[in-house]
Structure formats: structure tokens, C-alpha cells
Amino acid sequence: MKKIIVENLKYKYPLSEKLALNNVSFEIEQGEFIGVIGRNLSGKSTLCQAMVGLVPHFYKGAYGGKVIIDGLEVRNYSIADISLKVGIVFQNPFTQITGSKMTVYEEIAFGLENLGISRAEMINRIDFALNLLKIAPFKERSPFDLSGGQMQRMAIASIIAMKPEIIVLDEPTSQLDPEGSEEVFRAIQDLSKQGITVILAEHKMEKMAEFCNRILLLDDGKVVDFDVPEKVFSRDDLGEHGVNAPVYTRVCKALNKKKAGTNDYPVTLEEAVRVLGGMGL
């Protein structure tokens, strides 16, 4: 089932002269884990915000084309309506904090209060999210006393507790240590395997290659490519688009080692090991 359809989306922020998104079209199936990559200012955050209706309803500006989320055309529905289907984790976790809650626990509960679910269900979901993101030990702390990494975990937990059908994450692991990033990618992959549709923007190419079903490469507001990781990362023109392939791909490219029977280079550690084989031990 097509969960997200974007058709010729064009968008310009107010007071801006150039298009932040320029004729963007793609379709996403339910349960896909989509990675969005591209140099800074290429339009990743704008695209994320177009999925939840902040573009255009909050930012205004000039908008053309269509975004259809689970049957709803974003242009014709309010942010409140769309938010019942899509949750977003912002690039800066600070913007996500309500500012009115005293503890991490209450902060996560906040989004659930208006969903009309039972108290028992609320508690279940909050505990699940706290444990999934490993922030249960901080649940009584003030959200403002968290480190950047802990705040990012809380922002993700808040969205996961709401159990939206679609989750959009904008550089959600930028402040996390390597182990934390790995944990978050795994947790999100589990959700996508359970049928939740995921769109995630990041610069960590090794992680994107390992976890995403497909990669959307943006440059200057346009879609350069939308394909499986090995296709996108095997492109010869990635550098021109301000992106570096995963280390494994770069090594195999330099050694001209393709995946057996294909025209693509390995994108993960396992694939690279298979192609490069053991040394002559």
C-alpha cells in the first residue's frame, strides 16, 4: 500500500528567492525505512516538515504540487489532523520540548494526553518508550537538565509513545555517541518491521546504508536519486552532490570490487568482507 505520495512538490519559504524543494516526486510503501541524504541546505529538513504539514501550514510560503499522507492531502488538512498519523522528531531536540513539564516522564505523557487513550495504556506506552530509548533512569529529571544526547533520546521516545503510523526523524542521532546511534537505528528499524513507515534524514552514511530500505538523495531541493542503498552509493557523482559514500563502498570502489553478479559496490561491513574475502592467511 502506498503510504506516502509526493507529486511535483515545489516549495519556497516566505521572503526567500529560491525554491527549497523543486519538483520533488516519490512514493513510499507502508513499513519502508527511507533514508534522506544530501549536503546541508539541500532541503532535507524542509522535506521532513512537508510530511507533517508544517510546510506549508506553519511556515506559509509558496506551495505547489501534492503531498498525500495515508490518503490525506496535506494541503487540505490541519497540522492537528496530520499529526494523528505522522510524528516528527526535529533536528534540534530543544525545539521539541514543551517547556511546561517538570519531568521527562510528564514530557513524554504530554503528547498522549489528547489522544483519548486509557490511563493504563498511557503508562504502558510511556514505559515502553522510556525503556526502548534507555532513558528510564532519567524519567524524574527536568527535561532541561538533560545532555544533548539524552534530550535527543527523549524527543524520539515522545514520538514513539504516540504510536503514529509514520515517523519522520530529522538528524535524530547527531548528538549521540556511536553506541547510542546504533541503538536508536535498531529501535527504529524494529518499528519499521512492525509496519510503521519511517523517513529519517542523517549524515551517517554507514548507518543509512545498513538500515534503510531505500535512500532519497537530495541536492538543491531536487531529487537526484531514490533507490536501494547499493545503487545510490555506487553512483560516480556523489561527490558532486556533496555526499560521501560509506567507507566500505569507497574502499571497494577504489579496489574495483563489485558485489558478485551485479554492477554495485558493497555498502555494509558484511558485504565488503564477503567481496574482499579473507587475506591469504
Partner 1 sequence: MITVSNLSYAYQKGNPVLIDIHLNIDQRSTAIIGQNGAGKTTFVKLLKGLLKPFEGEVFIQNQQVKNRTAAELAKIIGLVFQNPNDQIFKNKVLDEVMFGPLNMGIDKQQATENAMEALEMVGLHDKLDMNPHDLSLSEKKLLCIASVVAMDTNIIILDEPTIAQDYQGKETIKKVIKTLKEKNKLVMTIIHDMDFVAENFERTIVFNEGKVILDGDTRFVFAQKDILKSAHVEAPEITKLGEKLGYRKTFLTIEEFIDYKNQERNL
Ligand X SMILES: Nc1ncnc2c1ncn2[C@@H]1O[C@H](COP(=O)(O)OP(=O)(O)O)[C@@H](O)[C@H]1O
Identify which range of 45-53, 77-85, 180-188, 208-216 contacts Mg ion by CB under 5 A.
Answer: 45-53
Among 1, 40, 95, 263, binds ligand X (CB under 6 A): 40
Number of chain residues interacting with Mg ion (CB under 5 A): 2
CB of 168 or CB of 272, closer to partner 1 = 272
3-state secondary structure 149-204: HHHHHHHHHHHHHCCCCEEEEECCCCCCCHHHHHHHHHHHHHHHHCCCEEEEECCC
Residues 1-30 that bind ligand X (CB under 6 A): 13, 16, 20
- The answer to whether 216 touches 226, Cβ cutoff 8 Å, is yes
User: Between residues 41 and 117, which has the closer beta carbon with respect to ligand X?
Assistant: 41
Cell numbers for 1, please give them.
500500500
How far is residue 18's CA from residue 14's CA, in Å, rounded to a whole number? 10
Q: CA–CA separation, 195 vs 189, rounded Å?
A: 10
**Do 206 and 212 contact (CB within 8 A), yes or no?**
no
Residue 147 interacting with ligand X (CB under 6 A):
yes
Q: Which CB, 50 or 252, lies closer to partner 1?
A: 252
Which segments of 42-173 are extended strands (E)? 62-69, 72-73, 86-89, 166-170
The listed partner (partner 1, ligand X, Mg ion, none) that binds 46, CB under 5 to 8 Å by sort, is ligand X
- The answer to whether the peptide bond before residue 56 is cis (omega within 30 degrees of 0) is yes
- Between 88 and 112, whose beta carbon lies closer to partner 1? 88
- 13 close to 20: Cβ distance less than 8 angstroms: yes
Q: Between 43 and 82, how does the x/- string for binding to ligand X read (CB under 6 A)? A: xxxx------------------------------------
Contact between residue 88 and residue 49 where contact means Cβ atoms under 8 Å apart: yes
Q: Identify residues 166-225 at the interface with partner 1 (CB under 8 A).
A: 171, 174-180, 203, 206
Can residue 234 be called a binding residue for partner 1 (CB under 8 A)?
Answer: no
Strand order in the sheet with 166-170: 86-89, 166-170, 197-201, 33-37, 214-219, 222-227
Residues of this chain that interact with Mg ion (CB under 5 A) are 44-45
Residues of this chain that interact with partner 1 (CB under 8 A) are 38-41, 91-92, 147-150, 171, 174-180, 203, 206, 242-244, 246-248, 250-251, 254-255, 269, 272-273, 276-281
Residues of this chain that interact with ligand X (CB under 6 A) are 13, 16, 20, 38, 40-46, 147
